[in-house]
Amino acid sequence: MPESTDPLYEELLVARCQAGDELAFAEVVGRYGPRIRYFLAKMCGDGEDVAQEVWLEVWRSISRLGAAGAFATWLYTIARRCAMRHASRRRGRHEQWETDQLAEIPDADVDDQGFTAADAQQVHAALDGLPPAQREAIVMRFLEDMSYDDIARVVGCAVGTVRSRLFYAKANLRKALDNHHPS
Protein backbone atom coordinates (compact mmCIF):
# COMPACT_ATOMS: atom_id res chain seq x y z
CA MET A 1 0.00 0.00 0.00
CA PRO A 2 1.17 3.52 -0.54
CA GLU A 3 3.41 4.96 2.10
CA SER A 4 1.66 7.65 4.05
CA THR A 5 3.70 10.33 5.73
CA ASP A 6 0.90 11.04 8.17
CA PRO A 7 -2.20 8.87 8.72
CA LEU A 8 -4.09 11.87 10.10
CA TYR A 9 -3.38 13.84 6.91
CA GLU A 10 -4.65 10.92 4.86
CA GLU A 11 -7.85 10.76 6.92
CA LEU A 12 -8.35 14.50 6.39
CA LEU A 13 -7.72 14.06 2.68
CA VAL A 14 -10.38 11.35 2.49
CA ALA A 15 -12.78 13.53 4.51
CA ARG A 16 -12.22 16.34 2.00
CA CYS A 17 -13.01 13.89 -0.81
CA GLN A 18 -16.20 12.92 1.00
CA ALA A 19 -17.13 16.61 1.02
CA GLY A 20 -16.70 16.72 -2.78
CA ASP A 21 -13.23 18.32 -2.96
CA GLU A 22 -11.93 17.43 -6.43
CA LEU A 23 -8.37 18.58 -5.67
CA ALA A 24 -8.23 16.24 -2.68
CA PHE A 25 -9.53 13.43 -4.86
CA ALA A 26 -6.82 14.15 -7.45
CA GLU A 27 -4.24 13.85 -4.67
CA VAL A 28 -5.72 10.52 -3.55
CA VAL A 29 -5.57 9.27 -7.14
CA GLY A 30 -1.96 10.44 -7.33
CA ARG A 31 -1.08 8.60 -4.12
CA TYR A 32 -2.87 5.34 -4.87
CA GLY A 33 -3.14 5.34 -8.67
CA PRO A 34 0.13 3.57 -9.53
CA ARG A 35 -0.46 0.82 -6.93
CA ILE A 36 -4.06 0.29 -8.03
CA ARG A 37 -3.04 0.05 -11.71
CA TYR A 38 -0.30 -2.45 -10.79
CA PHE A 39 -2.73 -4.48 -8.66
CA LEU A 40 -5.29 -4.54 -11.47
CA ALA A 41 -2.69 -5.48 -14.07
CA LYS A 42 -1.76 -8.49 -11.95
CA MET A 43 -5.36 -9.42 -11.22
CA CYS A 44 -6.95 -9.04 -14.65
CA GLY A 45 -4.24 -7.93 -17.08
CA ASP A 46 -5.81 -4.56 -17.83
CA GLY A 47 -4.73 -2.01 -15.25
CA GLU A 48 -5.45 1.23 -17.11
CA ASP A 49 -9.03 0.67 -18.25
CA VAL A 50 -10.17 -1.02 -15.07
CA ALA A 51 -8.48 1.68 -12.96
CA GLN A 52 -10.72 4.27 -14.61
CA GLU A 53 -13.72 2.21 -13.58
CA VAL A 54 -12.34 1.94 -10.02
CA TRP A 55 -11.80 5.68 -9.64
CA LEU A 56 -15.24 6.44 -11.03
CA GLU A 57 -16.82 4.06 -8.52
CA VAL A 58 -14.69 5.51 -5.69
CA TRP A 59 -15.77 9.07 -6.54
CA ARG A 60 -19.43 8.05 -6.70
CA SER A 61 -19.43 6.16 -3.41
CA ILE A 62 -16.78 7.79 -1.19
CA SER A 63 -19.45 9.71 0.69
CA ARG A 64 -20.72 6.36 2.01
CA LEU A 65 -17.32 5.32 3.41
CA GLY A 66 -17.74 5.15 7.17
CA ALA A 67 -14.27 5.45 8.68
CA ALA A 68 -11.75 7.45 6.67
CA GLY A 69 -8.99 5.37 8.29
CA ALA A 70 -10.30 2.30 6.46
CA PHE A 71 -9.89 3.93 3.05
CA ALA A 72 -7.10 1.70 1.68
CA THR A 73 -8.95 -1.52 2.48
CA TRP A 74 -12.16 -0.09 1.02
CA LEU A 75 -10.30 1.04 -2.12
CA TYR A 76 -8.77 -2.40 -2.70
CA THR A 77 -12.20 -3.98 -2.17
CA ILE A 78 -13.58 -1.80 -4.97
CA ALA A 79 -10.55 -2.58 -7.16
CA ARG A 80 -11.01 -6.30 -6.57
CA ARG A 81 -14.72 -6.11 -7.43
CA CYS A 82 -13.98 -4.16 -10.64
CA ALA A 83 -11.27 -6.66 -11.60
CA MET A 84 -13.69 -9.54 -11.08
CA ARG A 85 -16.36 -7.83 -13.22
CA HIS A 86 -13.78 -7.16 -15.92
CA ALA A 87 -12.60 -10.77 -15.84
CA SER A 88 -16.16 -12.08 -16.05
CA ARG A 89 -16.78 -9.88 -19.11
CA ARG A 90 -13.68 -11.35 -20.72
CA ARG A 91 -14.44 -14.92 -19.63
CA GLY A 92 -13.38 -17.46 -22.19
CA ARG A 93 -10.37 -15.47 -23.33
CA HIS A 94 -6.94 -16.49 -22.05
CA GLU A 95 -5.56 -13.93 -19.60
CA GLN A 96 -1.83 -13.30 -19.72
CA TRP A 97 0.26 -11.72 -16.98
CA GLU A 98 1.86 -8.46 -17.98
CA THR A 99 5.59 -8.89 -18.57
CA ASP A 100 6.42 -5.35 -19.62
CA GLN A 101 8.27 -4.89 -16.34
CA LEU A 102 10.76 -7.56 -17.43
CA ALA A 103 12.10 -5.28 -20.16
CA GLU A 104 12.86 -2.66 -17.51
CA ILE A 105 15.12 -4.96 -15.48
CA PRO A 106 18.77 -4.40 -16.42
CA ASP A 107 20.46 -7.59 -17.57
CA ALA A 108 23.35 -7.13 -15.13
CA ASP A 109 21.00 -7.12 -12.14
CA VAL A 110 19.26 -10.25 -13.38
CA ASP A 111 22.53 -12.09 -14.00
CA ASP A 112 23.99 -11.03 -10.65
CA GLN A 113 21.08 -12.68 -8.90
CA GLY A 114 21.14 -15.79 -11.08
CA PHE A 115 17.59 -14.97 -12.13
CA THR A 116 16.95 -14.55 -15.85
CA ALA A 117 14.09 -13.07 -17.83
CA ALA A 118 13.12 -16.63 -18.78
CA ASP A 119 12.91 -17.48 -15.07
CA ALA A 120 10.69 -14.45 -14.50
CA GLN A 121 8.43 -15.52 -17.36
CA GLN A 122 8.14 -18.98 -15.79
CA VAL A 123 7.17 -17.41 -12.47
CA HIS A 124 4.55 -15.26 -14.23
CA ALA A 125 3.21 -18.32 -16.06
CA ALA A 126 3.06 -20.26 -12.78
CA LEU A 127 1.19 -17.38 -11.13
CA ASP A 128 -1.18 -17.19 -14.08
CA GLY A 129 -1.88 -20.91 -13.65
CA LEU A 130 -3.05 -20.54 -10.05
CA PRO A 131 -6.75 -20.65 -9.23
CA PRO A 132 -8.05 -17.06 -9.03
CA ALA A 133 -8.48 -17.05 -5.22
CA GLN A 134 -4.89 -18.24 -4.71
CA ARG A 135 -3.45 -15.79 -7.26
CA GLU A 136 -5.39 -12.97 -5.62
CA ALA A 137 -3.99 -13.88 -2.18
CA ILE A 138 -0.42 -14.05 -3.53
CA VAL A 139 -0.74 -10.70 -5.33
CA MET A 140 -2.18 -8.95 -2.28
CA ARG A 141 0.31 -10.43 0.18
CA PHE A 142 3.57 -10.37 -1.75
CA LEU A 143 3.10 -7.72 -4.44
CA GLU A 144 0.86 -5.30 -2.52
CA ASP A 145 2.40 -6.13 0.88
CA MET A 146 -1.00 -6.34 2.54
CA SER A 147 -1.48 -7.90 5.97
CA TYR A 148 -3.50 -11.09 6.43
CA ASP A 149 -6.20 -9.04 8.17
CA ASP A 150 -6.41 -6.53 5.31
CA ILE A 151 -6.59 -9.31 2.71
CA ALA A 152 -9.37 -10.98 4.68
CA ARG A 153 -11.32 -7.70 4.81
CA VAL A 154 -10.87 -7.02 1.09
CA VAL A 155 -11.77 -10.56 0.03
CA GLY A 156 -14.51 -10.99 2.63
CA CYS A 157 -13.25 -14.18 4.24
CA ALA A 158 -11.63 -15.36 7.46
CA VAL A 159 -7.92 -14.82 8.13
CA GLY A 160 -7.54 -18.60 8.30
CA THR A 161 -8.89 -18.85 4.76
CA VAL A 162 -6.31 -16.30 3.60
CA ARG A 163 -3.55 -18.33 5.26
CA SER A 164 -4.85 -21.51 3.64
CA ARG A 165 -5.02 -19.93 0.19
CA LEU A 166 -1.46 -18.65 0.56
CA PHE A 167 -0.23 -22.05 1.75
CA TYR A 168 -1.76 -23.84 -1.23
CA ALA A 169 -0.72 -21.10 -3.65
CA LYS A 170 2.92 -21.38 -2.54
CA ALA A 171 2.74 -25.18 -2.79
CA ASN A 172 1.28 -24.93 -6.30
CA LEU A 173 3.92 -22.39 -7.33
CA ARG A 174 6.69 -24.58 -5.93
CA LYS A 175 5.31 -27.59 -7.83
CA ALA A 176 4.95 -25.65 -11.09
CA LEU A 177 8.44 -24.18 -10.82
CA ASP A 178 10.00 -27.52 -9.82
CA ASN A 179 8.61 -28.96 -13.06
CA HIS A 180 10.68 -26.35 -14.94
CA HIS A 181 13.81 -26.72 -12.81
CA PRO A 182 13.96 -30.22 -11.32
CA SER A 183 16.73 -30.65 -8.76
Q: What value does the mean pLDDT of the chain take?
A: 81
Question: What pLDDT is stored for residue 30 in this prediction?
Answer: 95
Residues 67 and 119 placed together within one structural domain of the fold: no
Q: How far apart are CA 50 and CA 57, in angstroms?
A: 11
Grade residue 17 by pLDDT with cuts at 50, 70 and 90: very high
Residues 62 and 112 placed together within one structural domain of the fold: no
| 168 located within any domain | yes
| 161 located within any domain | yes
| 99 located within any domain | no
| Report field, pTM of the whole predicted structure over 0.85 | no
Tell me the average pLDDT across 7-27: 92
Grade residue 98 by pLDDT with cuts at 50, 70 and 90: very low
Residues 26 and 77 placed together within one structural domain of the fold: yes
Q: What is the CATH number of the domain that holds 37?
A: 1.10.1740.10
Question: What pLDDT is stored for residue 180 in this prediction?
Answer: 66
Residues 65 and 129 placed together within one structural domain of the fold: no
DSSP assignments along the chain, one per residue: ----S-HHHHHHHHHHHHTT-HHHHHHHHHHHHHHHHHHHHHHHS-HHHHHHHHHHHHHHHGGG-S-GGGHHHHHHHHHHHHHHHHHHHTTTSPP----HHHHHS-HHHHHHTT--HHHHHHHHHHHHTS-HHHHHHHIIIIIS---HHHHHHHHTS-HHHHHHHHHHHHHHHHHHHHHHS--
Domain residues for the domain of 125 are 105-180
Q: Which percentage of the chain shows pLDDT scores above 70?
A: 79
92 has pLDDT over 80: no
Query: Looking at per-residue confidence, does 178 or 62 come out higher?
Result: 62
| pLDDT single digits (tens) 36-74 | 998 898 888 777 889 999 999 999 999 888 876 688 889
| 50 located within any domain | yes
| 97 located within any domain | no
Q: How far is CA 169 from CA 26, 75, 79, 127, in A?
A: 36, 24, 21, 9
